[in-house]
Amino acid sequence: MTAVETEHKGWLGRSVKRKEDARFIVGRGNYIEDIKLPNMLHMAILRSPFAHAKINSIDTSRAMELPGVVVVVTGDVLAEHKLAWMPTLSGDTQAVLATDKVRMQGQEVACVIAEDPYVAHDALELIDVDYEPLPVVTTPQAALEDGAPVIRDDKEGQTDNRIYHWEAGDAEATEQAFAAADKVVRLVTHYPRCHPAPLECCGCVADVNPATGKATIYMTSQAPHAHRTVFALVAGLPEQNIQIISPDIGGGFGNKVPVYPGYVVATAASLLLGRPVKWIEDRTGNLISTGFARDFYMDGELALKEDGTMTGLRVKMLSDQGYAYADAQPSKFRAGLFHIVTGSYDIPAAHVVTDGAYTNKAPGGVAYRCSFRVTEASFFIERLVQTAAYELGVDPAELRRQNFIPPEKFPYTSATGFEYDSGNYEPALDQALQRVGYKVLREEQKRAREEGRLLGIGLASFTEVVGAGPSRHYDIIGIKMFDSAELRVHPTGKAILKLGVKSQGQGHETTFAQIVAEELGIPPEDIAVQEGDTDNTPYGLGTYASRSTPVAGAATAVAARKVRDKARKLAAHLLEASEDDLEWSGEGFAVKGAPDRAKTIQEIAFAAYTDHPEGMEAGLEATNYYDPPNMTFPFGTYAVVVEVDRGTGAWDVKKVVAVDDCGTRINPMIVEGQIMGGLTEGYGTAAMELITFDEDGNCIGSNFTDYLLPGSWETPAFELGETVTPSPHHPIGAKGVGESATVGSPAAYVNAVIDALAHAGVRNIDMPLTSDKVWSALNEVGLAE
Ligand code: CDP
């Protein structure tokens, strides 16, 4: 018998080093490109140079003659197998390979399958396609004009380019609030299109065994289980014969949620040829054809009383979705969770009108470093509040404080229908102000202006909504958004935890082991965490939109508690005591008042296989499919100080303070890493990341020379603070932090920068805030040199 320590330190809140890094830093990660199967073929994709064109013919004969080419697949070949089109995760359809027309630049037109990847790429140049260019639609506004070319004329009954119209809130109450308002502030803005640009592009190795019919598909998937179901539905393959394996993934950021044509063609080719087929996407393919982010046009107004009290909000949003509605949005919420746009404020009436339109661009609108479309909402409300503070001539910090939802009002039902479970916004604001030295800075700003220097201090608060979600409201193509954990403790007290989610770099192998360690006292190094293999993990909806911790993290805690319940029974048997007389020490059970009569979890685990009482099943394991009762609502406030060069318009970030609240932090080091990632993304969008299109629909931003991502050199240093308001319904009080955001909010960072520039004299400019635009804005108000 081993004495159990009476004082247990606990595993939550410890910056345990990331277990997974051991293999990454010695180059032993296992990414798609590392997978090499015997007899494997290679696939390359021919993409359309036109944004909109009729396909008159495709001649593959010259390509077929190139030695090493096995087959060239076209849309017509796929159509024979009813595979030319596939469903999207938002219930629309998307071409696998184009048949009648191409509808975006970069669209997949044909695939070469060859013995060697270089031969496959060379053969692309030998495919002759006769295109007949059609008029191109590059903005959602143009798409909705009368007489605009109907992009999705393949869809029966589709007579225009509208995808959806969706509203939230109370139109009438909002009208009344505006009618009674003393002041109305309006903002028209655009959150431009950008791209998640993960370090690893997409890819797969499809291996359909001709003898057994089993399809093993290694792919870059953030949602392997959901993808398996889609494959079963698209290809008609029996689901038990499809195994999706997501090995290590080099970043996802929402970009690896949609199903892409490359996966489908490689699988179909493997099925037809009886050999494994590998497809590795190149950078241009990734940037021009896969899930982009943002591209919301927003026009809204805030109604206020004379004293600055907010009384109403109305927003019209128009989304540029590209040629297919293909991002995964919960089916009840056509514009994602954009209706969180009331943010941190107690606004009694709100009404949101959203429309989505087809354009001749790549589909997307993915949950990039945020929950579904929440970044766009955070961006909008905070810019509106900044504008209100400016127009009312009041301190932006005080206007926020005055209108924050007060702590006693939680749980709080927002005017657009969310029930915020918890929140306490002022401490985060106060901490940000205090850390940045707000009062002193405002004085310094005045002095600097007198000296001719342009210094700006910007603020932004945010409340986001993550952890999708309660299954009564949230589903993806009908599959409810629960998630799962299966925990098995082996005889020697070591454990294996299998999850329905899938890390793309977030450190799940460490943090989820910490949750088990906290609940069962088994140290994290003794717990193996497995994800991403659909044959060997329980069904789940995957990792995106900051849902892993709120949903699968909760499932893990609940499964561990079930294991502990059985461990109590086993301990009672071993200690010959009543279950009620036992207490949990953090590392095992002891008889109350007799700490020497104790059993560690390891001893109990051994007994589960060697000495369990009669009538009890052997083994020590549990499964939980967790359906969260509500979403979680992380929040925070950021402050940014910038100085602008009057001669060039260049702006320099002097200081960034980010105070985030994600409830209980499981691993503070990992959370801080996530926050810094989110802030860097915000910096990138503010300063340089932009994907635009010329009038012919050519994508400007198809490579890293044109599409600029910030590196460590230009990214400013961040000072991080925290407040802790646990989620009341989460088993361990954690809220999500996103795969580098939600806290670590890019929107809040962007807003704080824009606000800081505005206070330095640069008003009304849109992202990216390039120095030439800043200089022109300064010039207009006579501040440029
Ligand atoms: O869904 P995704 O993994 O992108 O996001 P998440 O669940 O919000 O968590 C990202 C990473 O931060 C995971 O490794 C989490 O376990 C960790 N985390 C944490 O340590 N404490 C929290 N309160 C929330 C997340």
Q: Could you give the 3-state DSSP secondary structure of residue 246?
A: coil
Q: Are 523 and 635 in contact (CB under 8 A)?
A: no
- Location of structure tokens 């004293």: 307
> How large is the angle between the packed helices 224-235 and 261-273, nearest 10 degrees?
60
3-state SS, one letter per residue, for 305-320 = CCCCCEEEEEEEEEEE
Number of residues assigned to the chain: 785
The residue to mutate among 222, 246, 371, 511, having the most atoms of ligand 1 within 8 angstroms of its beta carbon, is 511
Element (H, E) at 298: strand 296-304
Residues contacting residue 724 through CB under 8 Å, at least 6 positions apart: 661, 663, 664, 665
Segments of the chain with pLDDT less than 50: 1-8
* Nearest in space to 263 (alpha carbons), one of 292, 308, 226: 226
Q: Which atom of ligand 1 is nearest to the CA of 507?
A: 14
Residue with tokens 């012919």: 696
Beta bridge partners of 669: none
d(CA 411, ligand 1 centre) in Å = 23
Residues 312 and 504: their CA atoms lie apart, in Å, by 40
CA of 728 to the centre of ligand 1 (A): 17
Beta-sheet pairing, 108-114 with 215-219: unpaired
Cα separation values, 483 from 15, 251, 543, Å: 25, 21, 10
* pLDDT at residue 739 in the model: 62
Looking from the CA of residue 667, the nearest atom of ligand 1 is: 20
Of 685, 681, 637, 686, nearest to 658 (Cα)? 637
Active site residues: 222, 369-370, 739
Contact 273, 41 (CB under 8 A): yes
**Residues in a beta bridge with 164:** 356
Cα of 616 vs its chain's centroid, Å = 43
- Ligand 1, atom 17, lies closest to the CA of 671
Q: Closest Cα to residue 383, out of 590, 188, 640?
A: 188
pLDDT score at 748: 85
pLDDT in tens, 722-767: 999 999 999 999 999 876 556 778 888 888 889 889 888 888 888 8
**For a pocket test of ligand 1, which of 661, 670, 737, 740 has the largest count of ligand atoms closer than 8 A to its C-beta?**
737
Give CA–CA dist 31/652, Å, rounded: 38
Which residues are bridge partners to 357 per DSSP?
162, 320
Q: For the chain, what percentages of helix, strand and coil (3-state, to nearest 5) are there?
A: 30, 25, 45
Distance 163 CA to ligand 1 centre (A): 33
Q: Cα(226)–Cα(633) distance, rounded to whole angstroms? A: 25
Closest CA to 308 of 175, 171, 401: 401
Answer whether 527's CB lies under 8 Å from 499's CB. no
At a CB cut-off of 8 Å and minimum separation 6, what does 337 contact? 330, 371, 372, 373, 374, 377, 465
Sequence letter at residue 560? A
Phi-psi region of 744 (alpha: psi -120 to 50; beta: other; left: phi over 0): left
User: Ligand 1 center to residue 503 CA distance, Å?
Assistant: 10
**Residue-wise pLDDT tens digits, 474-527:** 999 999 999 999 999 999 999 999 999 999 999 999 999 999 999 999 999 999
pLDDT at 516: 98
| Rounded alpha-carbon distances, angstroms, from residue 215 to 211, 212, 377 | 11, 9, 41
Please state, in angstroms and rounded to a whole number, the distance separating the CA atoms of residues 298 and 382: 13
> What distance in Å separates the CA atoms of residue 130 and residue 45, rounded to the nearest whole number?
17
Q: What separation in angstroms does the CA of 464 have from each of 467, 468, 541, 616, 745? A: 10, 12, 20, 46, 9
| Contact call for residues 507 and 667 (beta carbons, < 8 A) | yes
184: tokens are 């109305």
Q: DSSP characters for 385-439?
A: HHHHHHHHT--HHHHHHHHBPPGGG-SEE-TTS-EE----HHHHHHHHHHHHTHH
For residue 160, give both structure tokens.
């225009």
CB 30 within 8 Å of CB 268: no
Report the SS3 class of residue 198: coil
Pocket-forming residues, ligand 1, beta carbon under 6 Å: 506-508, 511, 543, 546-549, 662-667, 670-671, 674, 734-739
Residue 565: which H helix or E strand, with range?
helix 554-575
Measured from the Cα of 511, ligand 1's closest atom is 16
- Strand ranges, E, within 209-294: 215-219, 242-245, 277-280
429: CA distance to ligand 1 center in Å?
A: 23
Extract the runs of DSSP E, i.e. beta strands, from 115-240.
Answer: 128-133, 162-169, 183-191, 203-208, 215-219
Q: How far is Cα 336 from Cα 294, in angstroms, rounded to an integer?
A: 11
Q: Which of 249, 255, 670, 720 maximizes ligand 1 atoms within 8 Å of its Cβ, making it the mutation to test the pocket?
A: 670
**Do 48 and 361 contact (CB within 8 A), yes or no?**
no
Nearest to 333 by CA among 184, 179, 187, 468: 468
- Strand pairing report for 108-114 and 41-47: antiparallel
The alpha carbon of 670 and the centre of ligand 1 are apart by a number of angstroms equal to 8
* Inter-residue contact 534 to 540 (CB < 8 Å): no
pTM of the full structure: 0.96
CA proximity to 354, closest of 369, 367, 372, 336 = 336
Q: What are phi and psi of 714, to 5 degrees?
A: -90, -15
